[in-house]
Amino acid sequence: MLSRIFILLLLIMILLPAAHAVVVVEVEIKGEINEGTAILLDEAFKQDGDVVLIIIDTPGGLLTSMQKVVRLILESDKPVITYAYPQGAFAASAGSFILISGHIAAMSDGTSTGAATPIGIFEPAENKTINFIASYGRSIAEERGRPVEVVEKFVTEGKSLSAKEAYELGVIDYLADSKEDLFNKIDGKVVEVQGKNITLNFEEFEIIKVKKSLKSRIFEFLSNPQVASVLLLIGIYGLIFGITSPGILPETVGAICLVLSLVGLGMINISYIAILLFILGIFFIIAELMTPTYGILGIASIVCVTLGAIMLFEEPLMPKKFYSSFPQLIGGISLGLAVIMTFLILKIAQLRKIEKKIGGGVTVGEEGEVVSFSDGKGYAKVRGEIWKIESQDTIREGDEVVVKERKGLTLIVALKEKEDKFYARR
Protein backbone atom coordinates (compact mmCIF):
# COMPACT_ATOMS: atom_id res chain seq x y z
CA MET A 1 0.00 0.00 0.00
CA LEU A 2 2.76 2.42 0.93
CA SER A 3 4.62 1.58 -2.26
CA ARG A 4 1.56 2.45 -4.32
CA ILE A 5 1.21 5.79 -2.52
CA PHE A 6 4.90 6.54 -3.06
CA ILE A 7 4.63 5.75 -6.77
CA LEU A 8 1.51 7.91 -7.05
CA LEU A 9 3.22 10.87 -5.39
CA LEU A 10 6.25 10.42 -7.60
CA LEU A 11 4.05 10.46 -10.72
CA ILE A 12 2.30 13.62 -9.50
CA MET A 13 5.65 15.35 -8.94
CA ILE A 14 6.85 14.35 -12.40
CA LEU A 15 3.65 15.39 -14.15
CA LEU A 16 3.30 18.73 -12.32
CA PRO A 17 5.17 21.56 -14.12
CA ALA A 18 8.18 22.96 -12.36
CA ALA A 19 7.67 26.30 -10.60
CA HIS A 20 8.37 29.18 -12.95
CA ALA A 21 11.05 31.58 -11.67
CA VAL A 22 9.88 35.17 -12.11
CA VAL A 23 12.25 37.09 -14.41
CA VAL A 24 12.78 40.58 -12.97
CA VAL A 25 14.27 43.17 -15.33
CA GLU A 26 16.12 45.64 -13.11
CA VAL A 27 17.10 49.10 -14.32
CA GLU A 28 18.51 52.08 -12.40
CA ILE A 29 17.63 55.76 -12.70
CA LYS A 30 20.64 57.36 -11.04
CA GLY A 31 21.57 61.02 -11.27
CA GLU A 32 19.85 63.58 -13.45
CA ILE A 33 17.04 62.37 -15.69
CA ASN A 34 17.79 63.04 -19.36
CA GLU A 35 17.28 61.55 -22.79
CA GLY A 36 19.79 58.82 -22.02
CA THR A 37 17.54 57.79 -19.11
CA ALA A 38 14.51 57.51 -21.40
CA ILE A 39 16.46 55.38 -23.89
CA LEU A 40 17.76 53.14 -21.08
CA LEU A 41 14.20 52.56 -19.78
CA ASP A 42 12.92 51.88 -23.28
CA GLU A 43 15.60 49.20 -23.72
CA ALA A 44 14.67 47.70 -20.33
CA PHE A 45 10.99 47.40 -21.26
CA LYS A 46 11.95 45.57 -24.43
CA GLN A 47 13.72 42.85 -22.42
CA ASP A 48 12.07 39.45 -22.12
CA GLY A 49 10.94 39.54 -18.49
CA ASP A 50 7.87 39.21 -16.28
CA VAL A 51 8.34 42.28 -14.07
CA VAL A 52 10.25 45.56 -14.45
CA LEU A 53 11.96 46.89 -11.31
CA ILE A 54 13.05 50.54 -11.49
CA ILE A 55 15.55 51.59 -8.82
CA ILE A 56 15.30 55.36 -8.32
CA ASP A 57 17.91 57.74 -6.93
CA THR A 58 17.54 61.08 -8.70
CA PRO A 59 17.31 64.79 -7.79
CA GLY A 60 15.24 65.52 -10.92
CA GLY A 61 15.92 66.25 -14.56
CA LEU A 62 14.50 67.09 -17.96
CA LEU A 63 10.72 67.39 -18.14
CA THR A 64 10.37 65.82 -21.60
CA SER A 65 12.58 62.85 -20.72
CA MET A 66 10.66 62.27 -17.48
CA GLN A 67 7.38 62.27 -19.40
CA LYS A 68 8.76 59.63 -21.77
CA VAL A 69 9.69 57.39 -18.83
CA VAL A 70 6.28 57.82 -17.19
CA ARG A 71 4.56 57.02 -20.49
CA LEU A 72 6.56 53.80 -20.77
CA ILE A 73 5.45 52.78 -17.27
CA LEU A 74 1.79 53.67 -17.73
CA GLU A 75 1.59 51.87 -21.08
CA SER A 76 3.52 48.78 -19.93
CA ASP A 77 1.90 45.38 -20.43
CA LYS A 78 3.89 43.93 -17.51
CA PRO A 79 3.91 44.94 -13.81
CA VAL A 80 6.26 47.78 -12.97
CA ILE A 81 7.75 48.24 -9.49
CA THR A 82 9.26 51.64 -8.70
CA TYR A 83 11.59 51.63 -5.72
CA ALA A 84 13.49 54.52 -4.08
CA TYR A 85 16.65 52.76 -2.93
CA PRO A 86 19.17 52.53 -1.20
CA GLN A 87 19.12 54.46 2.08
CA GLY A 88 20.02 58.08 1.46
CA ALA A 89 18.53 58.04 -2.04
CA PHE A 90 15.70 60.32 -3.08
CA ALA A 91 13.07 60.42 -5.79
CA ALA A 92 12.80 64.20 -5.97
CA SER A 93 11.22 66.58 -8.46
CA ALA A 94 10.84 64.70 -11.76
CA GLY A 95 11.78 61.49 -9.95
CA SER A 96 8.69 61.73 -7.71
CA PHE A 97 6.41 61.40 -10.76
CA ILE A 98 8.26 58.29 -11.87
CA LEU A 99 7.95 56.82 -8.37
CA ILE A 100 4.15 57.24 -8.14
CA SER A 101 3.57 55.95 -11.69
CA GLY A 102 4.54 52.35 -10.86
CA HIS A 103 1.93 49.64 -10.37
CA ILE A 104 3.70 49.13 -7.05
CA ALA A 105 5.66 51.98 -5.45
CA ALA A 106 8.07 51.38 -2.59
CA MET A 107 10.78 53.19 -0.64
CA SER A 108 13.50 52.12 1.73
CA ASP A 109 14.01 53.83 5.08
CA GLY A 110 16.16 56.94 4.88
CA THR A 111 14.87 57.96 1.44
CA SER A 112 12.61 60.87 0.47
CA THR A 113 10.35 62.03 -2.33
CA GLY A 114 8.46 65.13 -3.50
CA ALA A 115 9.79 68.71 -3.88
CA ALA A 116 8.59 69.06 -7.46
CA THR A 117 7.97 72.81 -7.55
CA PRO A 118 8.99 74.24 -10.95
CA ILE A 119 11.96 76.60 -10.75
CA GLY A 120 13.38 79.22 -13.11
CA ILE A 121 16.95 80.44 -13.45
CA PHE A 122 16.23 84.12 -12.77
CA GLU A 123 12.69 84.08 -11.35
CA PRO A 124 10.01 81.64 -10.13
CA ALA A 125 8.25 79.60 -12.78
CA GLU A 126 5.07 81.04 -14.28
CA ASN A 127 1.71 79.97 -12.91
CA LYS A 128 0.81 78.22 -16.15
CA THR A 129 3.91 76.00 -15.78
CA ILE A 130 3.06 75.21 -12.16
CA ASN A 131 -0.57 74.44 -13.05
CA PHE A 132 0.46 72.22 -15.95
CA ILE A 133 2.88 70.12 -13.89
CA ALA A 134 0.43 69.93 -10.98
CA SER A 135 -2.30 68.60 -13.31
CA TYR A 136 0.20 66.14 -14.77
CA GLY A 137 1.01 64.78 -11.31
CA ARG A 138 -2.69 64.67 -10.47
CA SER A 139 -3.47 62.54 -13.52
CA ILE A 140 -0.75 60.01 -12.58
CA ALA A 141 -2.03 59.83 -9.00
CA GLU A 142 -5.60 59.28 -10.20
CA GLU A 143 -4.44 56.53 -12.58
CA ARG A 144 -2.63 54.68 -9.80
CA GLY A 145 -5.09 55.41 -6.98
CA ARG A 146 -2.72 57.57 -4.96
CA PRO A 147 -3.67 60.67 -2.90
CA VAL A 148 -4.16 63.47 -5.41
CA GLU A 149 -3.99 66.29 -2.86
CA VAL A 150 -0.61 65.20 -1.54
CA VAL A 151 0.89 64.81 -5.04
CA GLU A 152 -0.39 68.26 -6.00
CA LYS A 153 1.39 69.72 -2.97
CA PHE A 154 4.65 68.27 -4.32
CA VAL A 155 4.28 70.89 -7.06
CA THR A 156 2.33 73.78 -5.56
CA GLU A 157 4.00 73.83 -2.12
CA GLY A 158 7.26 71.98 -2.72
CA LYS A 159 6.17 69.35 -0.19
CA SER A 160 8.76 66.68 0.58
CA LEU A 161 8.08 63.39 2.36
CA SER A 162 10.22 60.84 4.13
CA ALA A 163 9.68 57.18 3.28
CA LYS A 164 7.58 56.65 6.40
CA GLU A 165 5.43 59.73 5.73
CA ALA A 166 4.90 58.70 2.10
CA TYR A 167 3.77 55.24 3.25
CA GLU A 168 1.39 56.58 5.91
CA LEU A 169 -0.20 59.00 3.42
CA GLY A 170 -0.62 56.29 0.78
CA VAL A 171 1.78 57.84 -1.73
CA ILE A 172 3.66 54.53 -1.83
CA ASP A 173 2.54 50.97 -1.19
CA TYR A 174 5.44 49.42 0.72
CA LEU A 175 8.42 50.15 2.95
CA ALA A 176 11.31 47.78 2.30
CA ASP A 177 15.00 48.01 3.16
CA SER A 178 16.17 45.58 0.48
CA LYS A 179 15.01 44.07 -2.77
CA GLU A 180 14.55 40.69 -1.11
CA ASP A 181 12.44 42.29 1.61
CA LEU A 182 10.34 44.01 -1.03
CA PHE A 183 9.80 40.80 -3.01
CA ASN A 184 8.72 38.97 0.14
CA LYS A 185 6.16 41.67 0.94
CA ILE A 186 4.60 41.79 -2.53
CA ASP A 187 4.61 38.03 -3.05
CA GLY A 188 1.06 36.97 -3.90
CA LYS A 189 -0.17 40.53 -4.52
CA VAL A 190 -2.63 40.98 -7.40
CA VAL A 191 -2.04 44.03 -9.65
CA GLU A 192 -4.12 45.27 -12.54
CA VAL A 193 -2.11 45.73 -15.74
CA GLN A 194 -3.90 47.02 -18.82
CA GLY A 195 -7.25 45.69 -17.53
CA LYS A 196 -5.87 42.26 -16.56
CA ASN A 197 -5.25 40.99 -13.03
CA ILE A 198 -1.77 39.55 -12.55
CA THR A 199 -0.70 37.72 -9.40
CA LEU A 200 2.91 38.33 -8.43
CA ASN A 201 4.76 35.18 -7.40
CA PHE A 202 8.22 35.74 -5.96
CA GLU A 203 8.87 32.33 -4.44
CA GLU A 204 11.61 32.03 -7.06
CA PHE A 205 12.99 34.91 -9.07
CA GLU A 206 15.81 35.77 -11.41
CA ILE A 207 17.12 39.31 -11.84
CA ILE A 208 18.38 40.64 -15.19
CA LYS A 209 20.19 43.97 -14.78
CA VAL A 210 20.04 46.35 -17.75
CA LYS A 211 23.18 48.44 -18.22
CA LYS A 212 23.54 51.67 -20.16
CA SER A 213 24.06 51.04 -23.87
CA LEU A 214 26.34 53.14 -26.07
CA LYS A 215 23.28 54.87 -27.51
CA SER A 216 21.95 55.84 -24.07
CA ARG A 217 25.39 57.12 -23.02
CA ILE A 218 25.71 59.27 -26.16
CA PHE A 219 22.27 60.83 -25.70
CA GLU A 220 22.92 61.26 -21.98
CA PHE A 221 25.98 63.31 -22.92
CA LEU A 222 24.30 65.36 -25.67
CA SER A 223 21.15 66.15 -23.65
CA ASN A 224 23.20 67.54 -20.77
CA PRO A 225 22.35 71.30 -20.76
CA GLN A 226 25.94 72.33 -20.06
CA VAL A 227 27.29 70.21 -22.90
CA ALA A 228 24.61 71.36 -25.35
CA SER A 229 25.40 75.02 -24.52
CA VAL A 230 29.14 74.66 -25.04
CA LEU A 231 28.67 72.75 -28.31
CA LEU A 232 26.32 75.48 -29.55
CA LEU A 233 28.87 78.21 -28.77
CA ILE A 234 31.73 76.32 -30.42
CA GLY A 235 29.53 75.58 -33.44
CA ILE A 236 28.50 79.21 -33.96
CA TYR A 237 31.97 80.68 -33.54
CA GLY A 238 33.57 77.87 -35.53
CA LEU A 239 31.40 78.66 -38.56
CA ILE A 240 31.94 82.43 -38.25
CA PHE A 241 35.69 81.90 -37.87
CA GLY A 242 35.66 79.65 -40.94
CA ILE A 243 33.86 82.29 -43.00
CA THR A 244 36.37 85.00 -42.08
CA SER A 245 39.38 82.70 -42.39
CA PRO A 246 38.53 79.97 -44.93
CA GLY A 247 39.88 76.52 -44.14
CA ILE A 248 38.63 73.01 -43.77
CA LEU A 249 39.14 72.60 -40.00
CA PRO A 250 37.16 75.57 -38.55
CA GLU A 251 34.10 74.97 -40.72
CA THR A 252 34.18 71.21 -40.13
CA VAL A 253 34.52 71.48 -36.35
CA GLY A 254 31.91 74.23 -36.23
CA ALA A 255 29.40 72.31 -38.35
CA ILE A 256 29.82 69.08 -36.33
CA CYS A 257 29.45 70.89 -32.98
CA LEU A 258 26.42 72.82 -34.22
CA VAL A 259 24.66 69.65 -35.40
CA LEU A 260 25.41 67.84 -32.12
CA SER A 261 24.16 70.81 -30.11
CA LEU A 262 20.91 70.91 -32.10
CA VAL A 263 20.42 67.20 -31.36
CA GLY A 264 20.79 67.92 -27.64
CA LEU A 265 18.66 71.08 -27.73
CA GLY A 266 15.89 69.13 -29.46
CA MET A 267 15.42 67.15 -26.23
CA ILE A 268 15.40 70.19 -23.93
CA ASN A 269 12.90 73.01 -23.34
CA ILE A 270 14.62 76.18 -24.54
CA SER A 271 13.86 79.89 -24.34
CA TYR A 272 13.03 81.69 -27.58
CA ILE A 273 14.33 84.94 -26.08
CA ALA A 274 17.73 83.26 -25.70
CA ILE A 275 17.63 82.14 -29.34
CA LEU A 276 16.86 85.73 -30.35
CA LEU A 277 19.86 86.93 -28.34
CA PHE A 278 22.10 84.41 -30.14
CA ILE A 279 20.83 85.68 -33.51
CA LEU A 280 21.46 89.28 -32.46
CA GLY A 281 24.96 88.31 -31.32
CA ILE A 282 25.73 86.80 -34.73
CA PHE A 283 24.24 89.84 -36.49
CA PHE A 284 26.35 92.27 -34.42
CA ILE A 285 29.64 90.49 -35.09
CA ILE A 286 28.90 90.31 -38.84
CA ALA A 287 28.00 94.01 -38.77
CA GLU A 288 31.29 94.74 -37.01
CA LEU A 289 33.17 92.90 -39.76
CA MET A 290 31.40 94.82 -42.53
CA THR A 291 31.28 98.25 -40.88
CA PRO A 292 34.05 98.83 -38.34
CA THR A 293 32.70 100.49 -35.17
CA TYR A 294 35.92 100.31 -33.14
CA GLY A 295 34.64 97.24 -31.28
CA ILE A 296 31.26 98.61 -30.14
CA LEU A 297 29.23 96.03 -32.06
CA GLY A 298 31.79 93.38 -31.11
CA ILE A 299 31.14 94.08 -27.43
CA ALA A 300 27.37 94.03 -28.07
CA SER A 301 27.81 90.61 -29.70
CA ILE A 302 29.68 89.27 -26.65
CA VAL A 303 26.96 90.52 -24.28
CA CYS A 304 24.13 89.03 -26.37
CA VAL A 305 25.78 85.63 -26.75
CA THR A 306 26.64 85.42 -23.03
CA LEU A 307 23.12 86.36 -21.93
CA GLY A 308 21.66 83.97 -24.50
CA ALA A 309 23.74 81.08 -23.15
CA ILE A 310 22.67 81.79 -19.56
CA MET A 311 18.96 82.11 -20.46
CA LEU A 312 18.90 79.24 -22.95
CA PHE A 313 17.09 76.59 -20.89
CA GLU A 314 13.60 76.57 -19.40
CA GLU A 315 13.66 73.28 -17.53
CA PRO A 316 11.41 73.48 -14.45
CA LEU A 317 12.26 70.13 -12.83
CA MET A 318 16.04 70.10 -12.84
CA PRO A 319 17.89 69.68 -9.49
CA LYS A 320 17.91 72.83 -7.38
CA LYS A 321 21.69 73.26 -7.61
CA PHE A 322 21.38 73.42 -11.41
CA TYR A 323 19.73 76.84 -11.22
CA SER A 324 22.62 78.31 -9.26
CA SER A 325 25.58 76.50 -10.80
CA PHE A 326 24.48 76.60 -14.45
CA PRO A 327 24.44 80.42 -14.90
CA GLN A 328 27.87 80.75 -13.27
CA LEU A 329 29.45 77.93 -15.25
CA ILE A 330 27.97 78.71 -18.65
CA GLY A 331 28.22 82.47 -18.11
CA GLY A 332 31.96 82.16 -17.49
CA ILE A 333 32.55 79.76 -20.38
CA SER A 334 30.46 81.72 -22.89
CA LEU A 335 31.97 85.07 -21.86
CA GLY A 336 35.53 83.78 -22.15
CA LEU A 337 34.89 81.99 -25.44
CA ALA A 338 33.00 84.96 -26.89
CA VAL A 339 35.77 87.42 -26.00
CA ILE A 340 38.56 85.23 -27.42
CA MET A 341 36.73 84.26 -30.61
CA THR A 342 35.42 87.78 -31.28
CA PHE A 343 38.94 89.18 -30.87
CA LEU A 344 40.43 86.58 -33.24
CA ILE A 345 37.69 87.02 -35.85
CA LEU A 346 38.03 90.81 -35.87
CA LYS A 347 41.85 90.67 -36.00
CA ILE A 348 41.83 88.25 -38.93
CA ALA A 349 39.31 90.43 -40.74
CA GLN A 350 41.54 93.49 -40.19
CA LEU A 351 44.60 91.67 -41.54
CA ARG A 352 42.70 90.64 -44.65
CA LYS A 353 41.54 94.21 -45.23
CA ILE A 354 45.13 95.45 -44.86
CA GLU A 355 46.35 92.76 -47.26
CA LYS A 356 43.71 93.71 -49.80
CA LYS A 357 44.52 97.40 -49.46
CA ILE A 358 48.28 96.94 -49.83
CA GLY A 359 48.38 94.62 -52.78
CA GLY A 360 45.06 94.94 -54.46
CA GLY A 361 46.45 96.15 -57.80
CA VAL A 362 49.45 93.85 -58.26
CA THR A 363 48.83 91.24 -60.97
CA VAL A 364 50.79 88.55 -62.79
CA GLY A 365 53.03 90.02 -65.52
CA GLU A 366 53.86 93.30 -63.83
CA GLU A 367 57.49 94.35 -63.53
CA GLY A 368 59.56 95.54 -60.61
CA GLU A 369 63.10 96.30 -59.43
CA VAL A 370 64.97 94.14 -56.91
CA VAL A 371 65.90 95.95 -53.70
CA SER A 372 67.71 93.02 -52.05
CA PHE A 373 67.93 89.28 -52.65
CA SER A 374 69.71 86.25 -51.19
CA ASP A 375 69.06 82.53 -50.79
CA GLY A 376 66.03 82.61 -53.07
CA LYS A 377 64.25 85.37 -51.11
CA GLY A 378 64.33 89.15 -50.96
CA TYR A 379 62.45 92.37 -51.62
CA ALA A 380 61.47 94.25 -54.78
CA LYS A 381 59.69 97.50 -55.60
CA VAL A 382 56.57 96.87 -57.68
CA ARG A 383 54.25 99.77 -58.57
CA GLY A 384 55.96 101.92 -55.93
CA GLU A 385 55.44 99.38 -53.11
CA ILE A 386 57.97 97.12 -51.43
CA TRP A 387 57.04 93.44 -51.67
CA LYS A 388 58.54 90.20 -50.43
CA ILE A 389 59.72 88.11 -53.36
CA GLU A 390 60.86 84.56 -54.00
CA SER A 391 62.58 83.20 -57.11
CA GLN A 392 64.58 80.25 -58.37
CA ASP A 393 66.61 82.51 -60.69
CA THR A 394 69.95 84.08 -59.84
CA ILE A 395 68.99 87.65 -59.07
CA ARG A 396 71.00 90.64 -57.87
CA GLU A 397 70.11 94.04 -56.48
CA GLY A 398 68.89 96.37 -59.24
CA ASP A 399 67.75 93.57 -61.58
CA GLU A 400 64.36 93.87 -63.18
CA VAL A 401 61.92 91.05 -62.47
CA VAL A 402 58.49 89.96 -63.68
CA VAL A 403 55.69 88.79 -61.38
CA LYS A 404 54.80 85.17 -62.15
CA GLU A 405 52.55 84.36 -59.20
CA ARG A 406 51.26 85.82 -55.94
CA LYS A 407 50.97 83.93 -52.66
CA GLY A 408 49.36 86.20 -50.07
CA LEU A 409 51.82 89.05 -49.49
CA THR A 410 54.69 87.29 -51.30
CA LEU A 411 55.38 87.56 -55.06
CA ILE A 412 56.93 84.75 -57.06
CA VAL A 413 59.14 86.45 -59.67
CA ALA A 414 61.49 85.63 -62.55
CA LEU A 415 64.43 87.59 -63.96
CA LYS A 416 63.15 89.90 -66.74
CA GLU A 417 66.05 89.12 -69.10
CA LYS A 418 65.25 85.42 -68.86
CA GLU A 419 61.62 86.11 -69.69
CA ASP A 420 62.58 88.32 -72.66
CA LYS A 421 64.86 85.62 -74.09
CA PHE A 422 62.13 83.04 -73.68
CA TYR A 423 59.64 85.09 -75.66
CA ALA A 424 62.32 86.00 -78.27
CA ARG A 425 62.96 82.30 -78.99
CA ARG A 426 59.24 81.76 -79.49
Q: Which of 65, 68, 93, 416 is catalytic?
A: 93
Give the C-alpha separation, 130 to 47, whole Å: 36
Q: Half-sphere exposure of residue 371, counting CA atoms within 13 Å on the CB side?
A: 11
Q: Is 388 one of the annotated active-site residues of the chain?
A: no
User: Which residues, 6+ apart, have CB-to-CB distance to 405 below 8 Å?
Assistant: 364, 411, 412
Rounded CA-CA distance 411/88 in Å is 73
H-assigned helices in 296-321: 296-310
Distances (CA, A) of 210 to 23, 42, 46, 59, 222: 13, 11, 11, 21, 21
Contact 295, 318 (CB under 8 A): no
Q: Reply yes or no on whether 128 is catalytic.
A: yes
Sequence length of the chain is 426
Terminal alpha carbon distance of the chain: 129
The string over 395-424, giving b where at least 16 C-beta atoms fall within 10 Å of a residue's C-beta and e elsewhere, is beeebbbbbeebeeeebebbbbeebeeeee
Closest residue by Cα to residue 68 from 44, 41, 48: 41
Indicate which residue of 128, 196, 356, 357 is catalytic. Answer: 128
| CB distance 327 to 226 below 8 Å | no
Residues whose CB is less than 8 angstroms from the CB of residue 138 and which lie 6 or more positions away in sequence, other chains included: 148, 151, 152
Residue ranges of E strands in 4-89: 22-30, 51-57, 80-84
* CA neighbor of 141 nearest in space, from 35, 55, 70: 70
**Dihedral sign, Cα of residue 80, residue 84, residue 86, residue 89:** positive
* Cα–Cα distance, 290 to 406 (Å, whole number): 26
CA distances from 127 to 155, 159, 273 (A): 11, 17, 19
Residues 27, 98: Cα–Cα separation, whole Å: 13
Query: Hey, what's the torsion of the CAs at 192, 198, 201, 207, to 10 degrees?
Result: -80
Residues classed as catalytic: 93, 128
